[in-house]
Structure 1
Amino acid sequence: MALQINATNPEHPALLLELPWHLPLEEWPEEYLVPLPRGISRHVVRYARAGDEVIAVKELAQRPALREYELLRDLDRIGIPAVDPLAVLTGRTDTAGEPLESVLVTRHLGGSMPYRSMFETTLRPATMHRLMDALAVLLVRLHLAGFAWGDCSLSNTLFRRDAGAYAAYLVDAETGDLHPELSAGQREYDLDLARVNISGELLDLEASGALHPSVDPIEFGTEICARYQRLWQELTRTSVYPAGKYQYIERRIRRLNDLGFDVAEMQIEHASNGDTVTFVPKVVDAGHHQRQLLRLTGLDAEENQARRLLNDLESWMATQDDYAPGDPLGARPEVLAHRWVREVFRPTVRSVPPELRGPMDAAEIYHELLEHRWYLSERAQHDIGLGTAVEDYIRTILPKVRETLRPTAD
């Protein structure tokens, strides 16, 4: 059988053909590989360079490779945070004509880390709680979209910094299934797998001495289930309010937005006696602040980053002479937002030398600068200004941040 490449982009096959597909992945020469940290996988996985992109290559049988490729494409279409599928290659043979396993190719998620790399130095419990929050949000988002993961674990997740918190991305969809809607039993099964897998992974870390002594692996595995249940309840519960108190419904919608979720539909029923109103939100869209920032500015950021950038944008707009909400003669928010990007956001980020940024993206850099400005202003008891904060951040903070985030070889 001849080598076949199914790709999402017409440009990828030409770039991929430059790689040594006639060799088993374990035997690829170093010249093709990129030394990035890898998580634990049941399959052989390597990072390589294809043109200007860094790709992850996973070796597995043809049928599961094709299936996972299509599942990742489906998740991409519905906006689930997962690695981007680029191609699947089948029909591989070695130089003697013997068959080799197929490979799935995905785009490396810039600035992300597998959880084991984050435990190379003992992680503080507060940071671990942020990882659990990120994983709970990812699992809820998957379930709202009708995706049963089938193998939720820390090993199957990548974490990326998101304005002081973390965003979680699905890496391995091999065991997943996409349905129109999940039953309570399907969700509970997925959640129980997550509990067992996470506790097992933390026990493994404990045995290696990489787990903080205050962390109980069993309790931590149970805690993610509790976090999931609290979030699921807030997103899906039915509310009953006094008739005429529609501000309560608005308050509930705002609370859901603050969690990063949009209400796509809502069902409102009046009681027969007219005393109460039953409100049932249908929450299917996550990334509320991401979409709002993208619509206003064209910037694509993580959810917490987007929330922070929007707050800074609103504060800046309030200082502009032509900002007059409700005044038809005032500048529209979209106009001001693009001015903010041009005059504030981009010059500020560009003032940080690229060689000092490490894997942090522009939105994370800007968030860090806002945090540093707040800290210095609190200490000085007055606003020190963004320019002063940038200078101090580059001189005193960024070298330490870069050292902490520096990727290490496996």
Structure 2
Amino acid sequence: MSGSLSITSAMADPALLDLPWDLPLESWPNDAIAALPKGISRHLVRFAHLAGHVVAIKETTAEMAKGEYEMLRMLQRLEIPCVDPVAVITNRSDAEGEELKPVLVTRHLRFSLPYRALFSQTLRPDTATRLVDALAVLLVRLHIVGFFWGDVSLSNTLFRRDAGAFAAYLVDAETGKLYEGGLSNGQRENDLEIARVNIAGELLDLEAGGRVADELDPVRISNGIVEAYRSLWKELTGSESFSTAERWRINERVNRLNDLGFDIEELAIRTDDTGTTVRIQPKVVDAGHHQRRLLRLTGLDAGENQARRLLNDLDSYRAAYGKGDLDEEMVAHEWLMRVFEPVVRAIPVELRGKLEPAEVFHQLLEHRWFMAQQAGHDIPLAEAVSSYVNTVLRHRRDEATVIGPPTGSTTAIDVVAPDTSAIAVVDPDDEEDWRLKV
């Protein structure tokens, strides 16, 4: 390295010093670059290997890099889904002493993809709708904490599969601003209009390139974020009135928000002068209801929809084996040892980068259900696991890394794994041994 390199980082990672900061980002050698699909960006962005994981490096100005780094750290403290800021690198110069652009370094989010890499040939309407719905949830969460994004788009978002849906993560926060007093309706509507216009433009661009299904309407899909956003915002923040004889509606509102994946941390309850009408309004809501319950019971950290699905299976296990009278934590531990972990261990090592474990388990449950529908009877877990591995998981691309050609193409290279048809699972009815045997 040349010159007095300056590194600002919240984590002490000496491996940062090993990267070729004395070279322009576009000239970095191939052995330092990780070929991953990228979204559209106004800045030069490249992925690099760093101490066993992958980081995204974006060239920008020193002021913008430092501002975005601090903003991402703040959003993390607020538990907003976003990329992990690693460092800001300034005072870069090449061997001749020429100044190089500062960079922002963020950790690549495993099992996440930009929206353009989530489909192999054409984008179908239902996939586009699920992406937009996920972005609407993220935007609501940002607005609740008082964050004005200013550049809402699919390109500035990463998506992870979440039990049949998608979870959205903020990637680019350079235009964002956090307001302690919250956002005005005008600010929220401004962000929402930016989202609608940007999404329409992104989908129209895909349509022009022949990358969307014929039945997909970019304008209708982009308008969908407005409806999805307003519906969720009203549910989370809107007030409702009812008579004092209908106090059960308070619990109903709480349960409805729990079903959406939110907890009410604070609720405003007021009665009128006559004491006959009650008015309630959530004041503080916190996302991640099912995530927190699953983490508390099992120690598993999953997406919200994945957590809901795993908890449903846990509850079914508890009911099926007559364990309703046992302590919930004890049953959860038994389910984890006898159901979840054996299934995860049955996945061949070569295929474990395809999907994260919670998503694999969710898809296995779906696959087993479809097999049972076709067969007209229950399918043993052993048979379902073997079928899922060989007919579904083997043919998926590797979403832990999604390695592509050095050009940064979104084409993925699938890992070829050995035959796993010999996987056997002990029958769940055998209370003495629920372990998978390979």
Shared topology, TM-score over 0.5?
yes
* TM-superposed deviation, 1:158: 0.7
C-alpha distance in 1 between matches for 2:367 and 2:23 = 49
Q: Is the partner of 2:286 in helix, strand or coil? A: strand
The reply on whether 1:155 has 2:149 as its aligned counterpart is no
Residue aligning to 1:408: 404
The reply on whether 1:5 has 2:7 as its aligned counterpart is yes
Q: Is the partner of 1:358 in helix, strand or coil? A: coil
The reply on whether 1:258 has 2:259 as its aligned counterpart is yes
* TM-superposed deviation, 1:283: 4.1
What RMSD over aligned residues (CA atoms) do the two structures have, in Å?
Answer: 1.7
C-alpha distance in 2 between matches for 1:394 and 1:220 = 34
Q: Deviations over 1:138-180 (max 9, x none)?
A: 1011101111101000110111111111111100000000112
The alignment-based identity, stated in percent, is: 55
> TM (normalized to structure 1)?
0.94
Q: Deviations over 1:205-243 (max 9, x none)?
A: 121111222222223222211211111111111111221
Aligned length in residues:
402
* TM-superposed deviation, 1:201: 1.2
Q: Is the partner of 1:263 in helix, strand or coil? A: strand
* TM-superposed deviation, 1:399: 2.0
Q: Which amino acid aligns with 2:380?
A: G
Q: Which amino acid aligns with 1:308?
A: R
Q: Which amino acid aligns with 2:5?
A: L
Q: Which amino acid aligns with 2:10?
A: T
C-alpha distance in 2 between matches for 1:315 and 1:143 = 36
Residue aligning to 2:414: none
Q: Is the partner of 2:245 in helix, strand or coil? A: coil
Q: Is the partner of 2:167 in helix, strand or coil? A: strand
Q: Is the partner of 2:122 in helix, strand or coil? A: coil
Q: Is the partner of 2:96 in helix, strand or coil? A: coil
User: What is the 5 A alignment of 1:370-409?
Assistant: 370-402=365-397, 407-409=403-405
User: What is the 5 A alignment of 1:181-200?
Assistant: 181-200=182-201
Q: Which amino acid aligns with 1:116?
A: R
The reply on whether 1:217 has 2:218 as its aligned counterpart is yes
Q: Which amino acid aligns with 1:273?
A: T
The reply on whether 1:362 has 2:363 as its aligned counterpart is no
Deviates more, 1:124-133 or 1:267-276: 267-276
Q: Which amino acid aligns with 1:400?
A: H
Q: Is the partner of 2:339 in helix, strand or coil? A: helix
* TM-superposed deviation, 1:322: 5.2
Residue aligning to 1:269: 270
Residue aligning to 1:23: 23
Which 5+ residue runs of structure 1 have no aligned equivalent?
A: 325-329
CA contact (8 A) 1:159 1:167 kept: yes
C-alpha distance in 2 between matches for 1:30 and 1:123 = 31
User: What is the 5 A alignment of 1:10-409?
Assistant: 10=12, 12=13, 14-180=14-180, 181-320=182-321, 323-324=324-325, 330=326, 332-402=327-397, 407-409=403-405
CA contact (8 A) 2:354 2:399 kept: no
C-alpha distance in 2 between matches for 1:64 and 1:247 = 50
CA contact (8 A) 1:357 1:398 kept: no
Q: Is the partner of 1:92 in helix, strand or coil? A: coil
C-alpha distance in 1 between matches for 2:335 and 2:119 = 38
C-alpha distance in 2 between matches for 1:338 and 1:314 = 12
Q: Which amino acid aligns with 2:367?
A: H
Q: Which amino acid aligns with 1:101?
A: K
Residue aligning to 1:327: none
Deviates more, 1:44-53 or 1:239-248: 239-248
C-alpha distance in 2 between matches for 1:261 and 1:404 = 28
C-alpha distance in 1 between matches for 2:97 and 2:10 = 28
CA contact (8 A) 2:87 2:105 kept: yes
Q: Is the partner of 1:318 in helix, strand or coil? A: helix
Which 5+ residue runs of structure 2 have no aligned equivalent?
A: 409-438
Deviates more, 1:155-164 or 1:378-387: 378-387
* TM-superposed deviation, 1:264: 1.0
* TM-superposed deviation, 1:18: 0.8
C-alpha distance in 2 between matches for 1:298 and 1:243 = 41
C-alpha distance in 2 between matches for 1:350 and 1:8 = 34
Q: Which has the higher contact order (CA 8 A, sep 6+)?
A: 2
* TM-superposed deviation, 1:404: 9.3
Q: Deviations over 1:323-373 (max 9, x none)?
A: 41xxxxx4x212221222222211111101121243310100111111111
CA contact (8 A) 1:119 1:211 kept: no
CA contact (8 A) 2:22 2:92 kept: yes
* TM-superposed deviation, 1:400: 2.5
Q: Is the partner of 1:269 in helix, strand or coil? A: strand
C-alpha distance in 1 between matches for 2:93 and 2:215 = 50
Deviates more, 1:245-254 or 1:298-307: 245-254
C-alpha distance in 2 between matches for 1:234 and 1:98 = 55
